[in-house]
Amino acid sequence: MNILTYLEEETLPPLSVGFAGTLSVAYTVLYVLPFYLSATTRPSPTLSRDAPSVIRARIRFVSISVTLATIATIYVLAARANASHLDILRLLGWYPISLVDVAKSLLLTAILFAAPILEKAVIESRWKDWLRGQTLHESLSSWIGWRNYVAGPVSEEILFRSLLVPLHFLTPMSPTRVILLTPLYFGIAHVHHFYEFVLTHPHTPLAPCIVRSLIQFSYTTIFGWYATFLFVRTGNVVAVILVHAFCNWAGLPRVWGQVEPRVAIGGPVNRGKEDSESEKSRESKGSLGWSIVYYVLLVAGAVGFQHNLWTLTQSRKALANLG
């Protein structure tokens, strides 16, 4: 069922833009505020947000917040939009889940990140660790990894995509405006890191802290646009959760600087001056070669992403028609 077809059956939109916006603000506050209400979740100059105790406590609070927001959204969809149980699952992107759409979404994202994947796998020689599952095990064995690759993507995508998008679709707002507007809540929800950074880095000047926060707001909002686009095009919350986890793992792509291979530790120590200079020359040429390959692939990945954006996100389970 396409959500636009569902809305056409209603004489008037079930919700107003103001009502959906108020709920969105409330959900965002409900998600962030508990971080600062308890001493167990509130960072300080001597307690980092990366401390295991802080991460565990925050995951507990976030789980409660997302659960309450989910209950509220389901109630609104049922009471205000007269949606059936199956309609609600469909609007939230919980059912049915197409594994093909999940795979296509990950493939599209991997195309965009082709250069960073090359850097990690080949240039830094991590592919062997991947095959052994060592990287995955190490990442999920730490609380930081559990937060970045599991708890964060799951809770944020459920709240800011699965809950906020359907609420706005039940208003007079067009699907395009929904895709452009709702990620702003996601970006704003990350602004609180400015306070955390200032608190834990008291000797850092204020200007760099502001710039850092603005950059973080920008790239989280941009990712939010992409994730919301995927969610609307596929109607699949699992797809955006996995894409979110993948992007957290990949990080922001390098857009400047020389790409250098991982330097092996150890090796011969009794080398002459000529051997040392010759080795430095080979390393310099190797780094230049890898840098050329990386940046060519970075551009090719962006072009490939743009070329396949609509094709790889096409799905019969889309929540709205954007084309």
Say how far apart CA 278 and CA 270 lie, in whole Å. Answer: 14
Q: Does the annotation count 85 as an active-site position?
A: no
Only one residue has tokens 């659960």, namely 67
Say how far apart CA 116 and CA 246 lie, in whole Å. Answer: 12
* 151 Cβ contact list (under 8 Å, min separation 6): 59, 62, 63
DSSP secondary structure string for all residues of 147-192: IIIIIHHHHHHIIIIIIHHHHHHTSS--HHHHHHHHHHHHHHTTTT
Helix axes 237-250 and 206-234, enclosed angle (nearest 10): 150
Dihedral angle at the C-alpha atoms of 294, 300, 303, 305, nearest 10 degrees?
Answer: -70
The active-site residue out of 10, 138, 156, 193 is 156
How many CB atoms neighbour CB 42 within 10 A? 17
* 182 Cβ contact list (under 8 Å, min separation 6): 24, 160, 161, 164, 165, 168, 224, 228
Q: Which two tokens stand for residue 317?
A: 């389970």
Q: Does the annotation count 192 as an active-site position?
A: no
How many CB atoms neighbour CB 233 within 10 A? 27
How many CB atoms neighbour CB 20 within 10 A? 25
Residue 248, SS3 per DSSP: helix
Only one residue has tokens 């833009």, namely 17
The active-site residue out of 190, 192, 196, 260 is 190
* 104 Cβ contact list (under 8 Å, min separation 6): 312, 313
Active site residues: 156, 190
